[in-house]
Each structure stands twice: as C-alpha cells, then as structure tokens.
C-alpha cells in the first residue's frame, strides 16, 4: 500500500484495533505441548544494572508551569525514580507474582506465559482475562483469587509482552493462539473471555473467529469512532462521543500512532533507559485522566511492578510492535454478527464528562449487548482500580449467559 493508504490503515487500526480474517493457527502438529510450571527469577545482576541506570539518569528540562500538558511531569518522575531507586523492593513483588500459579507452554513457537487458577467449585466455567498496553497480566492480580471462587481463571501475558517474550503478533493471530490454549492445552471446550484495551480487541477477534468456543465476552473498551465511521448514521449521543474521542486522541493519542508506525524509533530509548520507559508509560496514564493521582489510585509499588515487568523482560519494544502488527492489516470495523452475548462496563467519563453511549456499544458488537453498566469513578484499568466492582460485574454477566 502507498504511504497515504498505510497511514489511514494505521490510524484506523490504532483507534479501533484491526481485526482481519487471517488464517488460523496451524493444527498440523498433532503433538500436544504440555504446560510446565514457571517461576520468575530475575538475577541480581539485572537489578544492579537497573539501579546503576536509575542513579545516572540525565534529566531533561521542562517549561515553567507545564504540569502534564506537554507530557510526563518532571517533578513526578523525579519522585517516582527516587522511590524506585531507594525504596521499591522487586524481590517482594517477585515473590507475590510467584505466589500465582504461573505456567509456560509452547504454541506455534511462542513460549506463552499464563496464570492458571482452577476453581474448586464443581462445574465452574472457565474465564480468559486479557490485558492491554501499557499494563500486563499484572492488571488482574487483585481479582484472580476472587474470581477463582466461581471460575477457572486463565490470565496470559499477551505475546510481545512480559514473560511471553518478544514476538509481537496481530490480534487475530493472538486470538487463534489463545483459543488453542483454552481448548486444546487446558481442555476448556467453551469459556468466557474478558478484556480491556488491546485485550478487548483480541476478545472481539475471538468472538469473530471462534464464536463456537465462547459463552460470552466482557469488554471495558469497544473501539472508537474514526475517519472510517459513517458519522451521519450515528445518534446524537454517539456523535457527541465521537467528537470528544477525536479531541482526546488529538491531545493524548500520539503514542498510538507512533507505536503503530515507528515502533522501532522508540525502542532504542525505551530499552536503554528505565526512566524513559516509565515516563512513556506514565504519559499514557496521565492521558487517561490520572497523572498526579496515579500513586493514590494504583499504589506506587504496583505502578513500578507493572513497569518492571516490561523493563526486566525487555519487551517494551515488542509491545510497541503489537500496534504496528495491527496497523499493517486493514481493520475489519464491523465483524459478522457472531451471536455471542456481550457485557460492556464503560469506564468513567473521559475529560470533558463524555462517556461511551449504549448505542455505540451495540453498533460495535452487532447488537449483542445483554449487560451494560457505567463505572462512575473507575478508569481504564477496571480490574486493577476497582477489583470488587469488576468481579461482581463478571459474576452478573456469567449468571446471565450460563443459565
């Protein structure tokens, strides 16, 4: 495609998540790989290298009174880095992560990392939880045990992130790999999938490509209107939402287009500077309306643990390439009507007070929404920010679709 066509494809995929009908994961290899227990074990040398880099940070200047308007705030980053260097305890975080039942399995050459917590409940339904960017499987660390009271819980690291290594794949390929994991490796014939951010894109792809395997899917994001949208066909609330989203992307969405078109240009800085990586991630958090509130909302240790998962595995660059992979395939904006029931939990209104309208959720999911709830204060990372609400919302949805 020419440059203009590629740019349009990149923007559309970045905003809506490209979903295409590419060939499924090959089933030619009939030898079934078996999961093996996995333990996170970061070397002392890696931690010493991190401390040295943090100690020698070369700080940029900042325009007077900039705050978060031009990017990540300098004063905030200095405080975060000082805490990271002197107070943050990776070994404590590592032990907490290893308390989860971690596994790895080879699927199509991907050493896929996942948490698998079976339920003790007889006849429990399986649920697959999918993270996005810049979070990780750690997004769900607060809800695994609570959900396991009712569900067999599976939480993978999306290929290209964390402990699943550095191979970035488009959403449809990831969907095929995860269907293989759930059906053939773990033996769950049908399951619920829940996702946020890029995880929502993968969940929608699973519904399009593997609808026979899904009981339902739960989303906290359903994609955004972009230049391919027929704005004349939108309702009044949808048009208001579309305008607000376009303004949001103009002010805060640069990361999306850069990662979709020039991920390798970012890679050199983000793989070399832990502070640079943290600042890039925190810039996204600020765009979601958090900024100085991040420490209070998530906890400074939790923020750093999520950043450390990217830093220690050196998967920042490959996580950026996921956007590029989705941009390189023309997006399918409206998929076939899968008939799979959907739950949507909308995040708190974006700056300006506009929230996702029910009509847009119906449009994006072919009218299959059976549960629609507004989260009044919870933001982009629902399971992380408000685990009690998230668990209850999942349980309510499961009760509807497993009758």
**Stated pTM of the model:** 0.91
- Give the CA angle between residues 3, 334, 221 to the nearest 5°: 90
Arithmetic mean of pLDDT, 299-325 = 97
Q: Are 80 and 306 in contact (CB under 8 A)?
A: no
Characterise 289 by phi-psi region: left (phi > 0), alpha (psi -120 to 50), beta (else): left
Which whole-number Å values give the CA distances from 62 to 69, 117, 289, 300, 354, in the listed order? 11, 46, 21, 23, 31
Residues 6+ apart with CB under 8 A from 119: 148, 149, 150, 151, 152, 153
Per the prediction, the chain carries an average pLDDT of 88
The whole-angstrom separation of Cα 304 and Cα 283 is 14
User: Which pLDDT band, with edges at 50, 70 and 90, does 289 fall under?
Assistant: low
Arithmetic mean of pLDDT, 11-23 = 39
* More reliable by pLDDT, 94 or 30: 94
Torsion sign (Cα): 6, 223, 364, 128: positive
**110-124, 205-219, 331-345: the lowest-pLDDT one:** 331-345
The whole-angstrom separation of Cα 14 and Cα 172 is 15
Structural domains of the chain in order of their starting residue, each with its CATH number: 112-247+336-401 (3.40.50.1820)
Looking at residue 126, its pLDDT comes to 99
């Amino acid at each position: 495609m020419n440059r203009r066509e590629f740019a349009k494809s990149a923007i559309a995929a970045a905003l809506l998540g490209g979903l295409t009908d590419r060939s499924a994961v090959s089933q030619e290899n009939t030898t079934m790989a078996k999961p093996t227990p996995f333990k996170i074990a970061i070397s002392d040398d890696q931690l010493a290298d991190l401390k040295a880099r943090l100690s020698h940070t070369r700080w940029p200047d900042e325009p007077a009174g900039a705050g978060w308007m031009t990017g990540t705030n300098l004063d905030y980053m200095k405080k975060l880095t000082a805490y990271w260097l002197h107070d943050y305890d990776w070994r404590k975080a590592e032990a907490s992560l290893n308390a989860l039942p971690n596994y790895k399995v080879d699927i199509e050459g991907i050493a896929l990392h996942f948490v698998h917590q079976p339920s003790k409940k007889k006849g429990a339904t399986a649920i697959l939880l999918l993270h996005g960017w810049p979070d990780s499987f750690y997004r769900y660390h607060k809800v695994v045990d609570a959900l396991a009271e009712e569900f067999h819980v599976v939480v993978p690291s999306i290929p290209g992130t964390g402990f699943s290594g550095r191979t970035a794949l488009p959403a449809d390929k990831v969907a095929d790999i995860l269907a293989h994991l759930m059906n053939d490796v773990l033996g769950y014939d049908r399951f619920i999938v829940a996702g946020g951010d890029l995880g929502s894109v993968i969940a929608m792809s699973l519904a399009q490509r593997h609808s026979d395997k899904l009981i339902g899917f739960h989303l906290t994001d359903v994609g955004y209107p972009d230049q391919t949208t027929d704005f004349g066909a939108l309702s009044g609330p949808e048009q208001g939402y579309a305008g607000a989203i376009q303004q949001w992307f103009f002010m805060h969405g640069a990361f999306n287009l850069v990662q979709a078109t020039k991920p390798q240009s970012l890679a050199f800085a983000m793989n070399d500077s832990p502070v640079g990586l943290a600042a890039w991630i925190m810039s996204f958090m600020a765009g979601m309306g958090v900024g100085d509130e991040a420490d209070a909302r998530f906890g400074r240790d939790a923020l750093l643990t999520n950043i450390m998962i990217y830093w220690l595995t050196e998967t920042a660059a490959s996580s950026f390439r996921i956007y590029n992979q989705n941009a390189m395939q023309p997006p399918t904006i409206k998929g076939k009507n899968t008939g799979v029931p959907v739950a949507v939990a909308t995040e708190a209104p974006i700056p300006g007070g506009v929230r996702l309208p029910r009509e847009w959720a119906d449009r994006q999911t072919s009218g299959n929404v059976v549960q629609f709830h507004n989260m009044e204060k919870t933001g982009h990372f629902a399971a992380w920010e408000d685990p009690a609400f998230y668990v209850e919302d999942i349980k309510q949805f499961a009760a509807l679709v497993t009758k």
